[in-house]
Amino acid sequence: MEHPFIRNKEIILASASPRRAELLRQIGLKFEVRPSAVDEGKNKSESLREYVKRVALSKAESAAETCRGERPFAPTVIIAADTIVVINKKRLGKPESPESATAMLKRLSGKCHTVMTGVAVCDTFTKKKITKVVETKVWFKRLTDEEIADYVRSGEPLDKAGGYGIQGRAAVFVKKIEGDYFNIVGLPLNTLYKILIALPLNYTKSSCIIYPIR
């Protein structure tokens, strides 16, 4: 599939996430992987929606600055995303150990939580910036201790926000969702597509750099 917004543009995925890479391949995009990261500390005064939006925009702006240094005359589109899991107004990051993953899964067991993604796009040519926040609700079935232990032993939870991946073995834990499935995986494709097709198409030669976080 050839999308108008990528015609004559190079695409770079600045994320080590194999899930985000697979989503981009799924919609027919060809790209190079170039991971990028910024300080993801949360300010006490900001809401979680403000947090994911700020982190995504910070990543996009940081990447834009790098691009201006590397290719000052090339119109470049920077895309950044930050995904978190929220339960009872608390943010769950990636578990630091099997014990941490076990504790997270016990918190999610039998309850509804929210997967929240901030998406930011910066156009270095027009200096246009677009930010969106997408939320998806996820309901888990009640998990047994054995189910949690088996899943943690698989190693799958350790590189994922909230300690699970809906596209993997944890799919059987999900009773229902409300919202964008791909947002749970790590990149809300419909929202990203809407942002990209709103950008100018009249570049003669440009680069499109996609910067979702790891």
Give the CATH number for residue 25.
3.90.950.10
The stretch 165-194 carries a mean pLDDT of 96
- Distance, in Å, from the CA atom of 48 to the CA atom of 92, rounded to the nearest integer, reads 11
Residue 1 within a domain: no
74-124 tens-digit pLDDT: 667 888 888 999 999 999 989 999 999 999 999 999 999 999 999 888 887
- Distance, in Å, from the CA atom of 128 to the CA atom of 53, rounded to the nearest integer, reads 16
* CB-based contact 212:20 (threshold 8 Å): yes
Residue 23 within a domain: yes
Give residue 205's pLDDT band: very low, low, confident or very high (50, 70, 90).
Answer: very low
Residue 147 within a domain: yes
Residue 206 within a domain: yes
Is 82 an active-site residue?
yes
Environment class of 150 (CB within 10 Å of its CB; exposed 0-12, middle 13-18, buried 19+): exposed
Residue ranges making up the domain that contains 76: 6-212
* CB-based contact 130:67 (threshold 8 Å): no
Residue 161: pLDDT above 60? yes
**Domains in the chain, number:** 1
This prediction's pTM:
0.85
Q: How many CA atoms lie within 13 A of 52 on its CB side?
A: 25
Environment class of 148 (CB within 10 Å of its CB; exposed 0-12, middle 13-18, buried 19+): buried
Most confident of 35-44, 116-125, 134-143: 134-143
Residue type, 168: G
- What percent of the chain is modeled with pLDDT above 90? 49
Q: Which of 39, 82, 123, 180 does the annotation list as catalytic?
A: 82
Residue 184 within a domain: yes
Better-scored residue on pLDDT, 200 or 85: 85
Residue 122 within a domain: yes
Residue type, 207: S
Residue 47 within a domain: yes
Residue 145 within a domain: yes
